[in-house]
Structure 1
Amino acid sequence: MRAIEVARFGGPEVLVPTDLPDPVPGPGEVLLAVTASDVMFVDIMVRSGLGKDVFPIRPPYVPGNGVGGRVVSVGDGVEDGWLGRQVIAHTGGPGGWGGYAERAVAAADELVMVPDGVDPLDAVAALHDGPTALRVVELARVRPGQWVLVLGAAGAMGILLVQLLRARGARVVGAARGDAKLDAVAAVGADAVVDYSRSRWTNQVLEATSAARVDVVLDGVGGTLGREAYWLVADGGHFSAHGTPSGSFAQIDPDDARERAVTVTGIGDLRISAPERTRLARGLLAGLGRQVRPVIGQAFPLAEAAKAHAAMENREAIAKTVLTVG
């Protein structure tokens, strides 16, 4: 099979197309003929070596922790009824591996069937970001009429967050960088959009809310921007520090948060068990296209995985990035 292999940690250039033997499903597993692979920032973190203290993955390895495709064989203990089904599934363990390939192995009990009428690419695009976005909104306890600021709103999860929040009746300010990204955020229903690459961007947020501080900040960026956004949260509000594209999570002073009764949640609060993740993904796919729909900003052929990573690292990608296979 054709696959992408990382022989050493480094930049996008270490993502090299190669030929490898087809994997074989073990007990409780299935083999998928992959049609699309999810591309995530965690893939970049692992590939660059920045995640080596967090994830157990070491070169050589095949990147990727999520795919969509058709079940072509099953391991011991798996019902033959899965054969021929179009599904999405996670691959590998923490950090993920094995997804950038024409064939991938996945656990049968974590398969999510793609419903009739759902575009398989949309299903892959919702595999990771959908359940996480649902969890973020759930933790924030967003209520109708509340103002919510979403940082990184043009990212794959940010786009879903805007839609989920609007479906709950919240008023949303979407913050992103550049006109193209702002247009994408406005197109999915944000009440206002703000370019955080401009000076005094926080004043633009307050202008959108008629000078009211926001009830909730969902920070998908981190770093300095996240810290600046924290000061926009009203007393008694909620701040979710779950993003690191800037290189670090937003560091919030716990004493100030306690004094202002601001609830701060982080990436650790977003951990979801495999069964819960699968349940959320199944529910999301069942309603895909009604309240929410992923936006695929760019799709690259499998052999161009390096270009996909470069586009994301250079902040050129809008919404979801996927690799198409076959």
Structure 2
Amino acid sequence: MRAAVVTEFGGPEVLRAVDVAEVTAGPGELIIEVEAAEVLFLDTQLRSGWGKEYFKVEPPFVPGAGVAGVVGAVGAGVDPGLVGRRVIAGTGSVGTYRGGGYAERVAVPETEVFPIPGELDPAVALAALHDGATALAQLDRAALGSGRRVLITAAAGSLGHWLVPLAAAAGATVIGAVRGHAKLARVGELGAAEAVDYSEPGWADRVGPVDVVFDGVGGDLGRAAYKIIKPGGLFLGYGAASGDFAEPSGNPDVTVVGLFQPDPADWRERPARALKHLEARLINPTVGDSFALADAAAAHAAVEARTTVGKTVLRP
């Protein structure tokens, strides 16, 4: 079968589509015939060699933490009635990075499989797996209510497509921070009351005081966002798209929540809940770019260049 393999740490060019050994289902596993594989910013970082202290991956490896498709076969101990079902699935357990998603077929644990409801497009359903689940986890921590001013960084990204509308639906006044004027209008369409371009000097001062920050960017941008939080406010830092986490400090009146290891049972509830949001059309995630498996390097280049909006997927 074909898969996109990271042959060595480096730029997008090290990601190449090649023939690899066929996968088989071990005990408690299923084989998914992949229709869409999600491309996470984390994939691009691991390909470059970043994050070795968090994730133990070494070339050659197949990236990809989530897929959507049809169950083609099952291993021992798995219900054979699942064959033929449309599903989304994580390739590894919670808190790990097993990879394997950038392929025509992938073996996944039964515990990480979620049926796709109704007639949802598989790429749209795939947005529930990590983006939807992560957004719901952060929102559960924030416990938002009406009257709160909320700043969301990378608001036009795949996770922002969940955070912005759900925070607005909770009654918060949402400010979406993005890079580049082309994404400002999209943030308004998602439900943000205000939008700001954080590539412009002084952007944080123009936003003014906020109660809560959801930060998926980290670095200097995350630290700038932290500085405008009101006393008694909350900073949730869950991403490092800039290359490192914000690691804010200096304001004891602000509660900082960094990366946290979720309880596996709680985490598996969230993709199922996110799929219900999609089925009810409470969330309308954008599948911005679809690439062929052979063009996985181009997909990584686009994600790193910040030219994508919403979810980026490979379609083997």
Which residue type is aligned with residue 293 of structure 2?
A: L
Match of residue 316, structure 1, among 307, 310, 314 = 307
Which residue type is aligned with residue 289 of structure 2?
A: Q
Which aligned pairs between 1:173-188 and structure 2 lie closer than 5 A?
173-188=175-190
Which residue type is aligned with residue 322 of structure 1?
A: V
Instruction: Quote the offset at 1:273 in angstroms.
Output: 3.5
Which residue type is aligned with residue 307 of structure 1?
A: A
CA distance in 2, matches of 1:62, 1:161: 29
Which residue type is aligned with residue 265 of structure 1?
A: V
Q: Indicate the residue corresponding to 1:8 in structure 2.
A: 8
Q: Contact (CA 8 Å) 1:35, 1:324: kept in 2 or not? A: yes
Instruction: Quote the offset at 1:277 in angstroms.
Output: 2.2
Which residue type is aligned with residue 264 of structure 1?
A: V
**Is 1:277 matched with 2:267?**
yes
TM-score, normalised to structure 2's length? 0.95
Which residue type is aligned with residue 215 of structure 2?
A: D
Which aligned pairs between 1:50-129 and structure 2 lie closer than 5 A?
50-92=50-92, 94-129=96-131
CA distance in 2, matches of 1:47, 1:275: 29
Instruction: Quote the offset at 1:287 in angstroms.
Output: 2.3
CA distance in 2, matches of 1:230, 1:92: 33
Q: Contact (CA 8 Å) 1:133, 1:160: kept in 2 or not? A: yes
TM-score, normalised to structure 1's length? 0.92
Q: Contact (CA 8 Å) 2:92, 2:109: kept in 1 or not? A: no
CA distance in 1, matches of 2:185, 2:143: 27
Instruction: Quote the offset at 1:191 in angstroms.
Output: 0.5
Q: Indicate the residue corresponding to 2:232 in structure 1.
A: 236
Q: Indicate the residue corresponding to 2:284 in structure 1.
A: 293
Residues 110-152 of structure 1, C-alpha deviation per residue, up to 9 Å, x if partnerless? Answer: 2100001322111112211111111111112211221101111
Q: State how many pairs are aligned.
A: 313
Q: Indicate the residue corresponding to 1:27 in structure 2.
A: 27
Instruction: Pick which of 40-49 and 67-76 moved more.
Output: 40-49
Specify the SS of the correspondent of 1:73.
strand
**Is 1:257 matched with 2:248?**
no
Moved over 6 A (4+): none
Which residue type is aligned with residue 174 of structure 1?
A: G
Specify the SS of the correspondent of 2:251.
helix
CA distance in 1, matches of 2:58, 2:223: 33
Instruction: Quote the offset at 1:203 in angstroms.
Output: 3.0
Specify the SS of the correspondent of 2:34.
strand
Structure 2, gaps ≥5 residues long: none
Q: Indicate the residue corresponding to 2:159 in structure 1.
A: 157
Instruction: Quote the offset at 1:174 in angstroms.
Output: 0.3
Q: Indicate the residue corresponding to 2:146 in structure 1.
A: 144
| Percent of residue pairs identical | 46
Residues 48-76 of structure 1, C-alpha deviation per residue, up to 9 Å, x if partnerless? Answer: 11122321211111111110010010000
Structure 1, gaps ≥5 residues long: 207-212
Instruction: Quote the offset at 1:11 in angstroms.
Output: 0.8
Which residue type is aligned with residue 294 of structure 1?
A: P
